[in-house]
Chain A
Amino acid sequence: MSERWDWSAEEQIASRSGAHLPFLEEVLEQIARLGWDGRDFFGVQMTLEETLTNAIRHGNHCDESKRVRVHCKASGDRFWLRVADEGHGFRPDHVPDCTKDENLESFGGRGMALIHAYMAHVSFNERGNVITVQTHRGYRPPDDERPPDDE
């Protein structure tokens, strides 16, 4: 498939709390310029926040000698993101029970559920330290993955 992107960026981010925010704001500015809004914009924002903070906190354990490498591409219709940390790797098949006290603020449960809700494709490398996601404007999860209407 030929891929045409209107914007792309690669960056190395320090493993320090909040160090991802300038890059995140830059991406949001670019996708807004490309016409992303509403749920689509919000979903990209959530995915950036969850993947980058996970890489800093849980991948690199805020060790400032380690870097988070991020590569991002966007067009008017599509968004692609790859985030790599220097940690031992996340095991997507070993998702912690996010209802337990010790996991209340962990990445595995809620963070992954959110990324899957907004991104059409989510994959990890074998080691589990590189996550790649992509989506397109107007993407909605399949009916069987949608949250039930509780109201």
Chain B
Amino acid sequence: MSTPQRISLAESGDVTVVTFNDSKIIDDQAIQELGQELIALVEVDDRKKIVLNFAAVEFMSSAALGKLISFEKRVRAHKAQLILTNIRPEIHEVFAITKLTRLFTIKEDEADALAVM
């Protein structure tokens, strides 16, 4: 895929670690691009193990949550693994309020995620 603008990628063995380039995920166009770049990880690059590291994310809207849910569905359809890490308390509460803590596997940090992948 072309170089993503909204995310940065690092490899740890066979695991792709994704970090977010924006601290506030609210802009419509940025959210659309983010969704496309995430989905390309499984549909274009055929990556099977993905960690989303939220350390940089200070705020995200419900529209951004929708993109994450779409991404999780694509991950599942491609029989890939997805773990979310480093979510700050305010963002974790957003996941809890919207019941997304039941949909996503969430670990404290990257090391915890890599240990179970």
Using a CB–CB cutoff of 8 Å, the interface residues on chain A facing chain B are 17-18, 21, 38-39, 42, 45-46, 49-50, 53, 98, 101, 104-107, 109-111, 113-114, 117, 147-151
Cβ of A150 and Cβ of B62 under 8 Å apart?
no
Residues from chain A with a CB closer than 8 A to the CB of B89 are 39
Residues from chain B with a CB closer than 8 A to the CB of A105 are 62-63, 66-67
- Check if B5 is an interface residue, CB within 8 A of chain A: no
Cβ of A150 and Cβ of B97 under 8 Å apart?
no
- In the complex with contacts A45-B59, A49-B61, A150-B101, A104-B94 CB distance below 8 A: no
What would 19 A/B residue contacts be, using CB atoms closer than 8 Å? Answer: A39-B89, A39-B93, A42-B59, A46-B59, A49-B59, A53-B63, A98-B98, A104-B66, A104-B69, A106-B66, A110-B62, A110-B65, A110-B98, A111-B62, A114-B62, A114-B94, A114-B98, A147-B101, A151-B101
Cβ of B90 and Cβ of A113 under 8 Å apart?
no
| Chain A, residue nearest B28 (CB) | A17
Listed residue (B29, B73, B98, B106) with the most chain A CB atoms within 10 angstroms of its CB: B98
Cβ of B98 and Cβ of A150 under 8 Å apart?
no
- Interface of chain B residues 18 through 58 with chain A (CB within 8 A): 26-29
Residues from chain A with a CB closer than 8 A to the CB of B96 are 147-150
| Chain B, residue nearest A117 (CB) | B97
| Chain B, residue nearest A49 (CB) | B61
**Beyond known contacts A21-B27, A39-B90, A46-B94: 4 more, CB 8 A cutoff:** A38-B90, A39-B93, A104-B69, A110-B98
A53 to B28, CA, bound (A): 10
| Chain A, residue nearest B59 (CB) | A45
Listed residue (B62, B65, B66, B101) with the most chain A CB atoms within 10 angstroms of its CB: B62
Q: Which of B28, B65, B106 contacts A18 (CB 8 A)?
A: B28
Cβ of B98 and Cβ of A113 under 8 Å apart?
yes
Residues from chain B with a CB closer than 8 A to the CB of A50 are 61-62
A18 to B31, CA, bound (A): 12
- In the complex with contacts A18-B27, A150-B102, A107-B62 CB distance below 8 A: yes
Residues from chain A with a CB closer than 8 A to the CB of B29 are 17
